[in-house]
A and B are shown apart, each in its own frame.
Chain A
Amino acid sequence: MCVECGCDQPVPFGIKVLRFVAPGILRANTVPAVAAASTAVAAAGAQVERKTVDLHVPLLAKNDQVAAGNRANFRGRKILALNLVSSPGAGKTTLLSRTLDEFGLETKCAVVVGDLETDNDARRLARPHAPVAQITTGTACHLDAGMVAKSVESLDLTGVRVLFIENVGNLVCPAEFDLGEELRVVLISTTEGEEKPLKYPPIFKTAHVVLLTKTDVAEALGFNCALAIENVRRIAPQAKLIQLSARSGEGLVEWYELLRAHLFRP
């Protein structure tokens, strides 16, 4: 069903698996996918008395079911899945690029990356040692569990121990959609100012890890790190907080340590 207006039109989304050939030369396999349309129901039956039925049916049921399937699949294959969420431009792709080049050499990683359009991010992330799939969501403002399930099917996950799911850049809607991840990682960059956690609390509330990115330019921006950290702590006291810069390398050792600590034992 269409998540934008609630109509019964199926939401088309695309999945493209990028095969690393050589820098700049990429072949792509496009797998069209269409979300299942919800079914209209006509009720029938004999006239009966009015009755009241008590229920406990979760309303995101469909997504939650698929997410639970993803989680069981990832755990069964001993793959640590992380859902990376942030506003557009907070540095998710840059962090992942460097992570694949460093951590990815010792531990096999795969990436699923979501954007409304283009496979630019998948191209940036494609490595000979890391399978990457791009999901183009068209107009949908977040990834859902079904998109992730479909894209993972198209990837060869042999030997993969970490799956990074780079969500669509959006600090609002991804908060409500479980993808089946083990860890939800929320990024906030120094260029966004100190108040993001206070302005967009739901997503921070659900974070297992908060990464404060682009610390290398904090001083030039007049960014108040202590205030930002205090704001993260107020909304997300449960989250592990790491300050890092994918450019200078600050904090990356701690980030890789965190990944190692959560790996499933083979």
Chain B
Amino acid sequence: MHELGLMSSAMDAVLQQARSRGAQRVHRIVLRIGALAGVEPESLRFAFDVVTRDTIAAGSTLEVDAVPARARCAACAEDFDAGTDYVFSCPRCGQLSGDLRQGRELELAQIEMS
């Protein structure tokens, strides 16, 4: 997808948070990324290096908190691991589900700063 644009939007948020807390350096950034968010972690890392350059986050580390995809089966009324192939087939009854409960997260989760 648009990892560089995304990362840039993340960095806007990071800098805003850091500034509002009077921080001078950002040391570590944690992003929460769902398995079905359509984001390539490798591209994110590349983008991270580009967007942190010449900012107070230059040289900081990027961590990705990966969130597995889980869908709900309407028949069993239970959540199951949905994998990453976009076919959400209930392991108990085989019914297909379109009800994704988690796995599309794209969030700034944590910042370590000083």
Residues of A participating in the B interface, judged by any CB pair closer than 8 Å: 1-6, 38-39, 41, 43-62, 172-173, 175-176, 201-202, 204-205, 233-239
A54 adjacent to B109 (CB under 8 Å): yes
B13 part of interface (Cβ distance < 8 Å): yes
Instruction: Tell me which residues across on chain B come within 8 A of A38, comparing CB atoms.
Output: 8-9, 12
Min distance, Cβ B51 to any Cβ of chain A, angstroms: 7
B 48-66 to A, binary, CB cutoff 8 A, 1 in contact else 0:
0011000110000000000
Q: Check if B24 sits within 8 Å of A59, measured CB to CB.
A: no
A12 to chain B, nearest CB (A): 16
CB distance B87 to A43 under 8 Å?
A: no
Contact A205 B100 (CB under 8 A): yes
Q: How far is the CB of A65 from chain B (nearest CB, A)?
A: 11
Is A59 touching B51 in the complex (CB atoms < 8 A)?
no
A-B contact count (CB 8 A): 129
A59 to B55, CA, bound (A): 19
* Distance, CA A237 to CA B87, complexed state (A): 9
Range for the number of chain B residues in contact with chain A: 35 or more
For the complex, is B92 an interface residue (Cβ under 8 Å from A)? no
Interface assignment of B101: CB less than 8 Å from any CB of chain A: no
A54–B96 CB distance below 8 A? no
* B98:A205 contact, CB within 8 angstroms: yes
Contacts of B28 in A (CB 8 A): 52
Task: Give the 10 A-B residue pairs with the shortest CB-CB distance, closest first.
Answer: A238-B98, A6-B4, A45-B22, A201-B86, A57-B108, A41-B15, A50-B114, A237-B96, A59-B106, A3-B5
B41 on the interface (CB 8 Å rule)? no
Please, which residues of chain A bring their CB within 8 A of the CB of B96? 233-234, 237
User: CA A214 – CA B81 in complex, angstroms?
Assistant: 36
A55 CB contact (under 8 Å) in B7, B8, B109: B109
A56 to B47, CA, bound (A): 21
By the criterion CB–CB under 8 Å, are A50 and B107 in contact? Answer: no
B7 to chain A, nearest CB (A): 7
Give the residue name and chain of the A residue nearest to B88 (CB).
A237
For the A-B complex with A2-B5, A50-B27, A58-B106 known, give 17 more contacts whose Cβ atoms are closer than 8 Å.
A4-B5, A6-B5, A6-B50, A41-B16, A43-B24, A43-B56, A45-B19, A45-B22, A47-B24, A51-B114, A52-B111, A53-B21, A53-B110, A55-B111, A57-B10, A205-B98, A237-B88
Render B21-45 as a binary contact track against A, CB cut-off 8 A, 1 for contact: 1111001100100001010000000
Contact between chains at A46 and B109 (CB < 8 Å): no
A228 to chain B, nearest CB (A): 15
| Pairs across A and B, CB under 8 Å, 26 listed | A1-B5, A3-B5, A5-B4, A6-B50, A38-B9, A43-B15, A43-B18, A43-B23, A44-B22, A44-B24, A50-B113, A55-B108, A56-B109, A57-B17, A57-B107, A59-B9, A59-B107, A60-B9, A176-B2, A201-B85, A204-B86, A205-B86, A205-B100, A235-B86, A237-B97, A238-B98
Given A51-B113, A59-B31: A6 and B98 interface contact (C-beta under 8 Å): no
What's the Cα separation between A265 and B113 when bound, in Å?
51
Q: Is the beta-carbon distance between B1 and A41 smaller than 8 angstroms?
A: no
Once the chains are docked, how many angstroms separate the CA of A228 from the CA of B52? 45
Q: How far is the CA of A1 from the CA of B36 in the complex (A)?
A: 24
A173 and B113 in contact, given A58-B106, A59-B31, A234-B96 (Cβ under 8 angstroms): no
A6-B8, A239-B98 known; A51+B110 contact, CB < 8 A:
no
